[in-house]
Amino acid sequence: MAETHRTRLLIIGAGPAGYTAAIYAARAGLAPMVVAGMQPGGQLTITTDVENYPGFAEAIQGPWLMDQMQKQAEHVGAKVMFDLVTAIDLSRRPFRATCDSGDVFEAEAVVIATGAQAKWLGIPGEKELGGFGVSACATCDGFFYRGKDVAVIGGGNSATEEALYLSNLARHVTLVHRRDSLRSEKILQQRLFAKPNVTVLWDTITEEVLADASGRVPVARGLALRHARTSERSELKVDGVFVAIGHAPATALFQGQVGMDAEGYIVTVPGSTRTSVPGVFAAGDVQDRIYRQAVTAAGTGCMAALEAEKFLAAADAETEQVAA
């Protein structure tokens, strides 16, 4: 039967930002509730080796790290609910969130940590070879392609930055772009064109990620390409493929309720996680279009919990004053 849960702090999303907010809030005595959403654990659950989350000398597995964060949050007193928020009312306190199960959460403060997702091309081979030669994060996975040949797909700031980052690790980087000019900042373009080990394939559509199925598991071996103007087909042999065609923050639920930028990222007050709604905080990729790392998400999750705690203490003091 559907239940109504009352909580001081509702955390929506269970990636590094949500779990870190939960750990800090629980330790501050707020007994937070986390609604984990569609992909509990977030983007790290679809990566394999993680070598850049501090504290682990050996590579760890993304799903394992997220499992540990969940256990840590629960261990200190957070309640994690495997449900999906489908509607929310942030117009008055207590804020009210309705879930897929029918359960309702009434919360005095909310941390939005619903994350963002890389956009994918939707071509054959891309999904099947995810984590086996196909990635959407050079900072996360570039290290595995040291001395190898890689391709980056896209023509914006992300693609140009990913290509630049990879040019310092890989033997050769091919940037595959569907048009004849990049939309990235000129300074990034200049840096890219100055790299001796970077080639740009202009007017080129990526049609398929090709697999080498000769080993234990299929891995990417290249790309099937088509020229946008001549329709001429070709193949590019690479060991790794980085898709960098943008990210989409998971903010549809909050549209029209908290301030967002043109691309749907939640706007926070600089240097904080405060949103346009007092008592609503945003942490992690949902408000970060630049860094998008597990460790930065965790950092802003911590900030959100500390700020929520401060907000609730001030609200309590106000209520006591009114009562006195």
Q: Check binding of 178 to ligand NAP (CB under 6 A).
A: yes
Nearer to ligand NAP, 42 or 155 (CB): 155
* CB contact at 8 A, 151 and 236: yes
| Cα-Cα-Cα-Cα dihedral sign, residues 25, 26, 30, 34 | positive
| Listed ranges 55-63, 91-99, 142-150, 242-250: which one lies at the site for ligand NAP (CB under 6 A) | 242-250
Pairing of strands 219-227, 204-212: antiparallel
Could you confirm whether 141 is annotated as catalytic? yes
Least distance to ligand NAP, CB of residue 245, Å: 4
Interface with ligand NAP: number of residues (CB under 6 A): 16
Task: Report the C-alpha gap between 153 and 224 in whole angstroms.
Answer: 12
| Region binding ligand NAP by CB under 6 A among candidate stretches 18-26, 65-73, 239-247, 277-285 | 239-247
Q: Is 246 in the site for ligand NAP (CB under 6 A)?
A: yes
**Could you say which of 140, 239, 285, 302 is catalytic?**
140
Under DSSP, the state recorded for 76 is T
Cis peptide before 63 (omega within 30 of 0): no
Q: Decide whether 72 or 117 has the Cβ nearer to ligand NAP.
A: 117
Q: Does 251 bind ligand NAP (CB under 6 A)?
A: no
Active-site residue flag, 203: no
Least spacing, CB of residue 117 vs ligand NAP, in Å: 12
- 63 lines the binding site for ligand NAP (CB under 6 A): no
- With CB under 6 A as the contact rule, which of the stretches 66-74, 96-104, 149-157, 269-277 interacts with ligand NAP? 149-157
According to the binding rule CB under 6 A, does residue 161 interact with ligand NAP? yes
> Which is nearer to ligand NAP, 170 or 182 (by Cβ)?
182
Out of 83, 99, 137, 239, the active site residue is: 137
* Rounded Cα distance, 31 and 6, in Å: 10
CA dist 273 to 60, 115, 297, 301, Å?
A: 29, 14, 11, 8
12, 111 contact by CB (below 8 A): yes
191 binds ligand NAP (CB under 6 A): no
Among 191, 289, 296, 315, binds ligand NAP (CB under 6 A): 289
Q: Is 288 in the site for ligand NAP (CB under 6 A)?
A: no
Return the structure tokens found at 311.
Answer: 């907000």
| Contact call for residue 163 and ligand NAP (CB under 6 A) | no
Using the rule CB under 6 A, is 245 a contact of ligand NAP? yes
Q: How far is the CB of 285 from ligand NAP (least distance, A)?
A: 12
- Which one among 157, 251, 257, 268 touches ligand NAP, defined by CB under 6 A? 157
Helix axis angle for 186-193 and 157-167, nearest 10°, is 30
Query: 206: which residues sit within 8 A by CB, 6+ positions away?
Result: 121, 123, 153, 176, 223, 224, 225
The residue of the chain with the least Cβ separation from ligand NAP equals: 156
Q: Which stretch binds ligand NAP (CB under 6 A): 8-16, 73-81, 191-199, 241-249?
A: 241-249
The torsion angles phi and psi of 80, rounded to 5 degrees, stand at -105, 125
3-state SS assignment for residue 214: coil
CA–CA separation, 276 and 295 (whole Å) = 25
Q: At what angle do helices 16-27 and 294-323 cross, to 10 degrees?
A: 40
Q: Which residue has the tokens 């790392």?
A: 293
Question: Under the rule (CB under 6 A), what is the footprint of ligand NAP?
Answer: 121, 154-159, 161, 178-179, 183, 245-247, 289-290
The set of catalytic residues is: 137, 140-141
